[in-house]
């Protein structure tokens, strides 16, 4: 069955089941599996104008050109970002502490201004959930997020300074906070953010990168491997991240196995 048809079927089944599950207890503890990948279809990743070697896979994007061609390596004129800790699993409590999700590593090297550099990428993330300690099948939800990137010139003045190189590169993450989903008649919100938290970026940086005075993201230091750990929270109310422009969305439901299990296993006595 095509993915679009499966999504529609799952959502229709979920709506029918959730309508009859208002009596189910809220889930307080979850088992989860978090997976992310870059979307590689045309237009999902954009670059500035210029030459060089650009590569896009589901786990890594790279740009620029160095002494070893398209390969990444310290001291070369080539940079990239990759996803690791993929398929990470664990437990997370509703309204509790954040739990580890995937890691994004920016290999940040000086890239010649004649080479094209990354400007945006699209992430497809899946979150598998079930009540902790249960034998329910995992239910899989999906969402897409956008990363905006600015390869800053390494010369002063710059908006975000660093040492020993003058300027940090800047990343803005859009759409990762307060993605809602409904199970057993209860609405929850799944949020991804950089550890320890996304921070508000300077307004001039936001205007230049995201065309808004408010944005949230992180920066990476030139000349090193910048590993940024992302975290997952599940709440029963939307959360507020400094600088995040609220754009809540609904996680797409793939199938309805967990909802059916909840209906059978968690019915309250009459």
Strands annotated E in the chain: 29-38, 46-47, 55-56, 60-64, 78-84, 88-93, 99-108, 118-131, 139-150, 169-174, 179-183, 186-194, 199-200, 216-220, 224-235, 249-250, 252-254
Q: pLDDT of the chain along its 270 residues, tens only?
A: 444 443 333 433 443 334 333 335 899 999 999 999 999 999 999 999 998 889 999 999 999 886 666 766 656 788 999 999 999 999 999 999 999 999 999 999 888 888 899 999 999 999 999 999 999 999 999 999 999 998 887 677 776 666 656 788 889 888 888 899 888 889 999 998 887 655 677 787 788 788 877 777 888 888 889 999 999 999 999 887 655 544 546 666 554 444 444 443 443 344
Label each residue of 188-201 as H, E or C. Answer: EEEEEEECCCCEEC
At which residue do the structure tokens 């949020």 appear? 191
Cis peptide bond N-terminal to 164, omega within 30: yes
Domain boundaries in the chain?
29-251
């Amino acid at each position: 069955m095509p993915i679009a048809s499966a999504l529609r079927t799952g959502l229709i089944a979920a709506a029918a089941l959730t309508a009859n599950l208002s009596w189910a207890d809220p889930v307080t503890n979850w088992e989860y599996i978090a997976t992310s990948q870059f979307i590689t279809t045309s237009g999902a990743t954009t670059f500035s104008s210029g030459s060089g070697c650009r590569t896009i896979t589901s786990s890594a994007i790279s740009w620029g050109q160095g002494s070893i061609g398209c390969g990444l390596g310290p001291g070369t004129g080539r940079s990239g970002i990759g996803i690791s800790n993929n398929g990470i699993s664990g437990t997370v409590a509703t309204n509790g502490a954040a739990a580890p999700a995937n890691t994004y590593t920016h290999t940040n090297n000086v890239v010649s201004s004649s080479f094209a550099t990354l400007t945006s990428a699209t992430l497809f993330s899946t979150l598998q959930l079930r009540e902790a300690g249960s034998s329910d099948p995992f239910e899989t939800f999906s969402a897409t997020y956008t990363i905006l990137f600015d390869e800053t010139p390494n010369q002063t003045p710059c908006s975000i300074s660093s040492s020993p190189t003058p300027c940090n590169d800047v990343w803005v993450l859009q759409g990762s906070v307060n993605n809602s989903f409904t199970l057993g008649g209860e609405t929850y919100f799944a949020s991804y953010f950089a550890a320890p938290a996304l921070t508000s970026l300077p307004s001039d940086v936001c205007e230049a990168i995201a065309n808004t005075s408010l944005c949230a993201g992180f920066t990476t230091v030139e000349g090193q491997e910048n590993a940024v750990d992302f975290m997952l929270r599940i709440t029963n109310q939307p959360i507020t991240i400094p600088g995040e422009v609220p754009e809540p969305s609904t996680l797409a439901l793939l199938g309805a196995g967990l909802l059916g299990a909840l209906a059978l296993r968690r019915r309250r006595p009459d």
